[in-house]
Copies of this chain bind each other. A is one copy, B any other.
């Protein structure tokens, strides 16, 4: 029976980057999701006409932050490789009292983009939180998870909850 292997820990028990030199360049796509759960009055305020819908600038700002954050993944997560993202889309939908953020990243490269998708979704969630936090201290960033990953050694799809 083989032990599970930590790809980022070497034999000296030191942290390490994975060498992807010999991997194939393939078209890799990953989708991640994060959620921001609002108290009802904050969700209502986001939708309100009286504020001429704050949703517009709040979501626009979070989309911009999420895309910029995804591009900087390798500066934030120590052993991520720098990648030339070819596409990064952040979509945000207000479903009930929850902002559902989905980040889709694509690249032709030797390594996958799941960390980029997760980072983009996380930074967008932090930005939504920041822009709404004056209204309530009870906002919570919910689960952040990988929804799908294609194009590497093994495709992988998890059904969203």
A45: chain B residues at CB < 8 Å are 3-4, 6
When distances are taken between beta carbons in the complex, the residues of chain B under 8 Å from A88 are 17
A141 to B48, CA, bound (A): 31
The listed residue (B87, B130, B135, B138) touching A80 by CB distance below 8 A is B130
| Residue numbers in B under 8 Å from A71 (CB-CB) | 74-75, 82
Q: A68-B75, A79-B130 are in contact. Are A54 and B17 (CB under 8 A)?
A: no
Complex: A86 Cα to B17 Cα, angstroms: 9
Q: Is A158 an interface residue (CB 8 A)?
A: yes
Copies of this polypeptide in the complex: 6
- Identify the interface centre among A7, A84, A140: most chain B CB within 10 Å of its CB: A84
Main secondary structure, interface of A, reads: mixed
Among B12, B59, B77, contact of A130 (Cβ-Cβ < 8 Å): B77
Shortest distance in angstroms between A137's beta carbon and chain B's nearest beta carbon?
A: 6
Q: Known: A15-B58, A59-B14, A81-B84. Contact between A51 and B20, CB under 8 A?
A: no
Contact in complex: A17, B122 (CB < 8 Å)? no
A159 within 8 Å of B (CB atoms) = no
**Using Cβ atoms and an 8 Å threshold, which residues of chain B touch A144?**
125, 140-141, 144
How far apart are the CA atoms of A64 and B146 in the complex, in Å? 24
What is the minimal beta-carbon distance from A140 to any residue of chain B, in angstroms?
5
* Chain A contacts with B in 36-53, Cβ cutoff 8 A: 41-42, 45, 48, 50-53
6 CB < 8 A contacts A-B: A6-B51, A15-B57, A16-B63, A21-B27, A71-B75, A79-B130
Nearest 4 A/B pairs, CB to CB = A19-B87, A60-B60, A141-B144, A7-B134
